[in-house]
Structure 1
Amino acid sequence: MRSTRPVVCALALSLGLVLSPITVQAALPLAVDGQALPSLAPIVAQASPGVVNISVSGKKVTRQAIPEPFRFFFGPNMPNEQVQERPFQALGSGVIVDADKGYVITNHHVIDEADDIMVTLKDGREFKAKLVGDDSQSDIALLQIDGKDLTAIPLANSDALQVGDFAIAIGNPFGLGQTVTSGIISALGRSGLNIENLENFIQTDAAINSGNSGGALLNLKGELIGINTAILGPNGGNIGIGFAIPANMVKNLMEQLVKYGEVRRAILGISGGELTSDLAKTFGYDKQKGAFVNQVMPGSAAEEAGIEAGDIIVSLDGNPVGSFGELRAKIATMGAGKQVKLGLIRDGKERTVTVTLKQADLTEAKASVLHSALDGATLTDSEPGSKPAGVLVKEVAENSPAAAAGLRKGDLILGVNRVRTENLDDLRKALKGKHKLLAINIKRDNSSLYLVLR
């Protein structure tokens, strides 16, 4: 690293001054006109003990199907797939949100597939963390450590944020150790970035880099306004466009993970899209902020609340809704059974409805979302009333891990490791966590068989 001392000396000579380091330090004013110079130091000192470094290690398992000609050439003992295990290590950040219970929030992608998770506090103490639960769609994970004298960061009301508010980011970029940067809130309700499945990001220009994931985004009260999760940059470096998951979403998800160990996804029961100026004018609305409702699903929470196709949803619990993506992310992370108030525009007039959210049913999914060994298969619930009930394999891509594992189109998955799976939700629960071996019970035509995956 280049020293700045020659620059200081050159400046002193050009001014005809003789300055010692002590003189320079003493010359810096502590106040101007009786007012103390602004500093973020008190906020950082208060909050930084609540930001932790996270290091993880594990083994990534990759499966590659062996083409049929090779299997034929080498004979019947040739395996259907090539399995490789590669050890990995990674670094990230986290935030202590409950000092008494030792809860730490971080990103799902920080701890994904990790066998060991270590949490290091600012004071140097290290703890092995337990994974309480995680949610890949919102990229949130909840850890727990067993420690005393922890410092938690209180959560702010992220719905009260405004563009232009000051923001402070604390994390562990590039494994350097705790680092503080500052900026402002550049935008709110960012979605459509294809970073995560559920997107309602706070955008900030506070410097965020690799390793900051899971770290804290704070307001000037030292409260948590978001969890830093992603950056937009051509080479993975900071260009002043970073994204954080809002604290209110984090709070909703954390409550579900603590209570159930998983996220109980909520659903409103509408399909729709973003509101354009032409669409808004057509339906008697003079603004371009909101979520347009194309269709209301029969029997859904939206139908029961009186929402109709053509409505424009403009607020959620009194807070403005900027886009359909923002509404979708907020609803999905609120938790099933929660009651919310939605502000609507119908025929140019405002009205408010109260909705009790229902739990989303997982009716079709890419199998890779459930387990990497099933990558390449599309799964769906069996027809209602069919016996036996199970998970139907709708499609299997050629030369995929699912094909190599022996799955075929039309197979009915009845259980995993002796756990009955009548639907996709059952299958997701059965596959959750680390398994040395998966014994998948399949009904194929009129026979029953097991596929054993290691």
Structure 2
Amino acid sequence: MRSINTVLLCLISLSACVSHEPLQRVPTLSLSPENVVLSGGTGAPQTAGINFGLTGGINESDSLTNISVLPGIRVRAVAPGGAAERAGIRAGDVILRIDGDDSNHPDVLDALAVQTTEARSFDFEVRRNTTVFMATLNVTPLTDQQTAPVELYRADPVLLRAGFTTELLRDSDGGRVSGARVVRLFDDSPLASADIRTNDIILTVDNRPVESAQGLVTVLAQNYTAGDRVTLGVSRDNAVRYQGIDLWHPGRKLSRLSLWPLFSYESTAEPDQTRIRVGDLILFSLFSFQRNGAEREYNILGLFRTASDYGELIEE
């Protein structure tokens, strides 16, 4: 009887020293409002024109003691792949003339860029140090207005791991019913294991009507947590079924196991560490192992120690 009590005491002690932690952190989700404006807000068209692919400035002299403004436009920067770079112009060059006309202020470039509405070429007379050369810039007009962004779907990247669009249906009485149509399944989506496919329409969550795609995402985020079980009302081919489903769960891993003084194990994800001790004698252990990221350390009887790490960076 005493031996049985001893075993039970050991088991109770062991279970009291076992703990777990999530295998990965559950990400937080910022919810979108029901109505979203994806454009800049004003809807104003962009200015039509061209882009020379350079930034110009006043052509000031390089002397620090005798600063003066010289003729021409100083090229301050050249855009990679732009018309200026293709024509051989570099930062520091000075544009003296454009199509035979003097150019002494960067506003000339801005005016030409706005006024030009068709593809054409410009002849730039350019000075580099004391060498003057001709560079031909071939430019193409920019579009008058960028295409406005188009919403694809509302996403729940955490609990259902899927994308949805709002769907309006008619019930058997002719009334209007709203739902969330599944348009995309992300990796590890619990919908796939529940045989809920793209184009299925989710109508209810635990008998609560789904008003829109965003409504579905919001209800889940505000009322449920990872691993909860919910019942979805799903419409497919005009037939409705109710499907129980476990929301995505990050999983869990053993974080602590201890039976002192025989054995102890600890592991954390952040920071990424693992510790193992065998025969913990307080002052030292018979054997210990510690991992910190990629670094590993082994210790026997507190006397023999070996470690491995990334090594040191040596500047050559």
Q: TM-score, normalised by structure 1?
A: 0.23
Q: TM-score, normalised by structure 2?
A: 0.32
Q: Which has the higher contact order (CA 8 A, sep 6+)?
A: 2
